[in-house]
């Protein structure tokens, strides 16, 4: 199983528009972060977790032959606003599956009414097959996927475990019962917004505490803001099995 980090930034990305913060002015490519998303390649199947406003740019950069499905963590714009840009895949492949909590599906139906309308559609609109996710394992193309629920401030969001790999973003709290789904991982990906406390995201210390508790073999931090600091500087401070993710990073996970 191959994981590609399509984007590792927070809701504004890095650089932030108009910002003169030193990280936003950095020439290091690892300090330039599109909105957060991953691509998972499993056997002959490819799916993307979240489809934010940078999706088109991410696809031009990663250049996958196809995308078979999209899985959503929650409904916020930095995770869903690129949905219209899936059209080239639809034109090439036909109907595309999307997977999300029912609340998220309803939000997508409102924001992209022209896609989900039951009336006659505008020519060129993609046809999406909706699949509701509840908090229990489901299977896509033979791969078992386990939702992991957390709170993004007060909003329930899903992370996902794929075999011995887990991806959690936009979380602030996780119940003990959900943490038990995250034991014995090869790789854990976890959001770490900045060093300072934040109302709806793990800060760096909180993310590191969860990693220490769950003991994955390796961990990667994502959903990073410019306030966390320069990539290379932060990486030097991290435990030896913890890494800052960066855009276009790929990792291989043994197949489950």
Contact 220, 132 (CB under 8 A): no
Report cis status (omega within 30 of 0) of the bond before 15.
Answer: yes
Q: Count up the domains in the chain and report the number.
A: 1
Give the Cα separation of 28 and 60 in Å (integer).
21
Q: How would you label 153-190 residue by residue, b for 16+ Cβ within 10 Å and e otherwise?
A: eeeebbbbbbbbbbbbbbbbebeeebeebbeebbbbbb
| pLDDT tens-digit map of 38-95 | 999 999 999 999 999 999 999 999 999 999 999 999 999 999 999 999 999 999 999 9
Q: What proportion of the chain, given as a percentage, has pLDDT over 70?
A: 100
Residue range 173-183, pLDDT digits in tens: 999 999 999 99
CATH number at residue 118: 3.60.15.10
pLDDT at residue number 123:
87
* Segment 129-157, tens digit of pLDDT: 999 999 999 999 999 999 999 999 999 99
- Structural domain harbouring 162: 2-252
The token pair at 221 is 């931090």
pTM over 0.85, yes/no: yes
| 65 close to 47: Cβ distance less than 8 angstroms | no
Contacts of 140 by beta carbon, 8 Å cutoff, 6+ apart: 45, 47, 69, 97, 99
Q: How confident is the model at residue 169 (pLDDT cuts 50, 70, 90)?
A: very high
In angstroms, rounded to a whole number, what is the distance separating the alpha carbons of residues 219 and 192? 11
């Amino acid at each position: 199983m191959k994981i590609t980090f399509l984007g590792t930034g927070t809701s504004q990305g890095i650089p932030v528009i108009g910002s003169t913060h030193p990280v936003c002015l950095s020439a290091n490519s690892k300090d330039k972060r599109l909105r957060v998303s991953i691509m998972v390649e499993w056997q002959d199947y490819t799916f993307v977790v979240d489809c934010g406003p940078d999706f088109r740019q991410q696809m031009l950069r990663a250049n996958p032959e196809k995308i078979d499905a999209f899985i959503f963590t929650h409904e916020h714009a930095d995770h869903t606003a690129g949905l219209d840009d899936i059209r080239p895949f639809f034109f090439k492949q036909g109907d595309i599956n999307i997977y999300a909590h029912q609340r998220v599906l309803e939000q997508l139906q409102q924001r992209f009414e022209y896609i989900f309308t039951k009336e006659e559609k505008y020519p060129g609109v993609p046809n999406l097959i909706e699949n509701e996710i509840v908090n229990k394992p489901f299977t896509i193309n033979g791969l078992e996927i386990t939702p992991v629920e957390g709170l993004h401030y007060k909003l329930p969001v899903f992370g996902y475990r794929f075999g011995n790999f887990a991806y959690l973003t936009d979380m602030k709290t996780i119940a003990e019962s959900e943490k038990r789904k995250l034991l014995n991982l090869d790789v854990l990906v976890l959001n770490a917004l900045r060093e300072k406390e934040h109302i709806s995201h793990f800060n760096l210390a909180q993310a590191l505490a969860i990693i220490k508790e769950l003991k994955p073999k390796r961990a990667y931090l994502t959903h990073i803001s410019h306030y966390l600091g320069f990539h290379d500087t932060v990486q030097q401070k991290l435990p030896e099995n913890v890494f800052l993710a960066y855009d276009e990073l790929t990792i291989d996970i043994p197949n489950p």
